């Protein structure tokens, strides 16, 4: 009996903020591309996203707007869902930390950790960064008492609190990280976390009393749960951990990948695994910390007025172009720099010149020379074998990149095949072969090879650019032949002769860079 292959991937759950920008969209679109890719390659995938709705920051913002925190978050979270729908993000579940199913699990976790003596009461006096919802000891603060993560002033907090015995598990965690080098990726983040843990872990303050907007601690109702402990638990509460129906938990935990931005790697590779260790649960396979999408002017922020909204870009350039750009532009683990010029350059170069033009001009040739009907290929010669070999290797290359979460490399490897096909067209010049009746057989072979590559490119690119296939299949005359859309069909020569291609409008019209504002 073959065992079902499962794959559980999560994004961070986002703080409700007025609008998510392209940096947030990057994480979720990248996770979506991985989820789509895994589904296409035979996995039973669970893809989770959601919203992180508690904490002092939200309580304050709601107050500023004269709303209750619940009213405030409800409105924003419906905007998140709209955004993900518009970006064609295929999540399987959206967890809100204000949902009952989540609260119950967080309360059970607190109770268990308390009952087993891993949570104890003491009084907390120290520093708190409200924007980051992070506690800091004096020694970790930057000069001038600012948060070492975001550079904003911290606040002095003095309250009676409960603490979680992180220190008790530090050695076990360090051992796990050192024995499993793939646990934290990329390696730069692995190294950072190893030295962070080695510098000593303090017990973590896990409850607050000076505000109400949080999950009540079951054994002391004056306290609410620290928002990060609340938030991290989403990865198992959404699976029904420790409830009457924990079938999803049984099937999908431990997660294969928590995809997170580099700023929150520490929470996911120190606090979260220690909670899991204390609960006696398995740790996630991988935490991948991706780089940030930056602007020349620095970080995006509302106050600087330089926030780039994904839906505005979609409106202007189309979904596939925006997704392609995001996924291609941020190299694995590094930061990427957003600029509209770079986006337009990618559209004009990679999508209009290379990809779109390949499809449009090839379809036009088959229509012109054979009334659209693709002929059976003849004997191979010249550069055919090299092209076919690359086409046959590309699916495995893609699998390797995606297994390492190197989405940009994966997209680039499809681009490499596109470029090789374009070069092949120049090398074989079907337009010249068409003028010579003695070369009919060669012309058939060349066009067959090119169209078979186009079919395979369409299959391989669909997790990244989900709208592309809907436009490419009709051009290739394959819209109803879904068997040839599948990953299993990526075997050279599956495309039957006799397929009828159509001429179409440019798949990616060029954009005049001069027209940019
Ligand atoms: O951190 N480029 O939520 P969040 C790339 N609620 N990624 C970016 C980015 C940028 N310019 N700006 C932000 C939280 N991000 C917590 C998570 S998970 C249990 C709780 C990424 O809304 C950031 O790195 O502040 C993070 O991964 C994600 O957006 C959510 O940020």
pLDDT in tens, the chain (517 residues): 568 999 999 999 999 987 789 999 999 999 999 999 999 999 999 999 999 999 999 999 999 999 999 999 999 999 999 999 999 999 999 999 999 999 999 999 999 999 999 999 998 888 999 888 888 888 888 887 899 888 899 999 888 999 999 999 999 999 999 999 999 999 999 999 999 999 999 999 999 998 899 999 999 999 999 999 999 999 999 999 999 999 999 999 999 999 999 999 999 999 999 999 999 999 999 999 999 999 887 778 777 788 899 999 999 999 999 999 999 998 888 899 999 999 999 999 999 999 999 999 999 999 999 999 999 999 999 899 999 999 999 999 999 999 999 999 999 999 999 999 999 999 999 999 999 999 999 999 999 999 999 999 999 999 999 999 999 999 999 999 999 999 999 999 999 999 999 999 999 999 998 877 6
The C-alpha atoms of residue 19 and residue 82 are separated, in whole angstroms, by 11
The alpha carbon of 264 and the centre of ligand 1 are apart by a number of angstroms equal to 7
pLDDT for 305 equals 80
pLDDT for 16 equals 93
Cα–chain center distance at 369? 43
**440 Cβ contact partners less than 8 Å away, ≥ 6 residues apart:** none
User: Which residue has a Cα nearest atom 8 of ligand 1?
Assistant: 23
pLDDT for 306 equals 85
pLDDT for 450 equals 98
The alpha carbon of 114 and the centre of ligand 1 are apart by a number of angstroms equal to 30
pLDDT for 159 equals 87
Tokens of 58: 């939200």
User: Which residue has a Cα nearest atom 19 of ligand 1?
Assistant: 232
User: Which residue has a Cα nearest atom 27 of ligand 1?
Assistant: 261
- From 27, 301, 332, give the residue whose CB has the most ligand 1 atoms within 8 Å, as the site to mutate: 27
pLDDT for 191 equals 97
pTM, entire model = 0.95
User: Which 8-state DSSP code applies to residue 350?
Assistant: I
User: Which residue has a Cα nearest atom 10 of ligand 1?
Assistant: 23
* Domains by residue range for the chain, with CATH: 340-515 (1.10.730.10)
The C-alpha atoms of residue 517 and residue 362 are separated, in whole angstroms, by 34
Tokens of 409: 């490399």
The alpha carbon of 28 and the centre of ligand 1 are apart by a number of angstroms equal to 10
User: Which residue has a Cα nearest atom 12 of ligand 1?
Assistant: 23
The Cβ of residue 104 has, within 10 Å, a number of other Cβ atoms equal to 15
User: Which 8-state DSSP code applies to residue 23?
Assistant: H
The alpha carbon of 215 and the centre of ligand 1 are apart by a number of angstroms equal to 22
The alpha carbon of 420 and the centre of ligand 1 are apart by a number of angstroms equal to 37
Tokens of 375: 């002929």
Pocket lined around ligand 1, Cβ cut-off 6 Å: 12-15, 23-24, 26-27, 52, 231-232, 234, 260-261, 263-264, 292-293, 300
The alpha carbon of 178 and the centre of ligand 1 are apart by a number of angstroms equal to 26
């Amino acid at each position: 009996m073959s065992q079902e292959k499962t794959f559980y991937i999560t994004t961070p759950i986002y703080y409700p903020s007025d609008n998510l920008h392209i940096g947030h969209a990057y994480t979720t679109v990248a996770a979506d591309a991985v989820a789509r890719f895994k589904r296409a390659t035979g996995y039973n995938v669970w893809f989770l996203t959601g919203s992180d709705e508690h904490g002092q920051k939200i309580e304050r913002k709601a107050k500023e707007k004269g709303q209750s925190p619940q009213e405030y978050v409800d409105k924003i979270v419906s905007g998140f869902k709209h955004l993900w729908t518009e970006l064609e993000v295929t999540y399987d579940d959206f967890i809100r930390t204000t949902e009952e199913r989540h609260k119950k699990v967080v309360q059970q976790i607190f109770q268990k950790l308390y009952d087993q003596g891993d949570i104890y009461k003491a009084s907390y006096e120290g520093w708190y960064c409200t924007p980051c919802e992070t506690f800091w000891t004096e020694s970790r603060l930057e000069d001038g008492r600012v948060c070492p993560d975001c550079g904003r002033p911290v606040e002095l907090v003095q309250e009676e609190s409960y603490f979680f015995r992180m220190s008790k598990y530090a050695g076990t965690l360090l051992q796990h990280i050192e024995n499993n080098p793939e646990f934290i990726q990329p390696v730069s983040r692995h190294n950072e976390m190893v030295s962070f843990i080695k510098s000593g872990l303090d017990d973590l303050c896990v409850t607050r009393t000076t505000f109400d907007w949080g999950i009540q601690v079951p054994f002391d109702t004056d306290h609410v749960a620290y928002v990060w402990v609340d938030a991290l638990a989403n990865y198992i509460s959404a699976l029904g951990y420790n409830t009457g129906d924990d079938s999803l938990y049984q099937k999908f935990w431990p997660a294969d990948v928590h995809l997170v931005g580099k700023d929150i790697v520490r929470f996911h590779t120190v606090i979260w695994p220690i909670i899991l260790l204390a609960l006696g649960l398995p740790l996630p396979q991988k935490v991948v910390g991706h780089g940030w999408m930056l602007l020349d002017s620095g970080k995006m922020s509302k106050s600087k007025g330089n926030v780039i909204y994904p839906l505005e870009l979609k409106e202007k350039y189309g979904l596939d172009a925006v997704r392609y750009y995001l996924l291609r532009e941020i190299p694995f683990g590094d930061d990427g720099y957003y600029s509209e010029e770079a986006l337009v350059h990618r559209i004009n170069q990679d999508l209009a010149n290379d990809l779109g033009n390949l499809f449009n001009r090839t379809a036009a040739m088959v229509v012109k020379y054979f009334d659209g009907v693709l002929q059976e290929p003849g004997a191979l010669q010249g550069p055919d074998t090299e092209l076919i070999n690359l086409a046959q290797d590309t699916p495995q290359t893609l699998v390797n990149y995606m297994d390492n979460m190197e989405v940009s490399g994966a997209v680039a490897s499809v681009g490499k095949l596109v470029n090789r096909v374009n070069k092949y067209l120049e090398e074989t010049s079907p337009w010249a072969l068409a003028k010579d009746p003695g070369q009919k057989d060669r012309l058939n072979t060349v066009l067959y090879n090119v169209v078979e590559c186009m079919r395979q490119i369409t299959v391989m690119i669909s997790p990244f650019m989900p709208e592309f296939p809907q436009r490419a299949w009709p051009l290739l005359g394959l819209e109803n032949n879904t068997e040839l859309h599948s990953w299993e069909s990526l075997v050279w020569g599956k495309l039957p002769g006799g397929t009828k291609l159509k001429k179409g409008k440019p798949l990616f019209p060029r954009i005049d860079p001069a027209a940019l504002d």
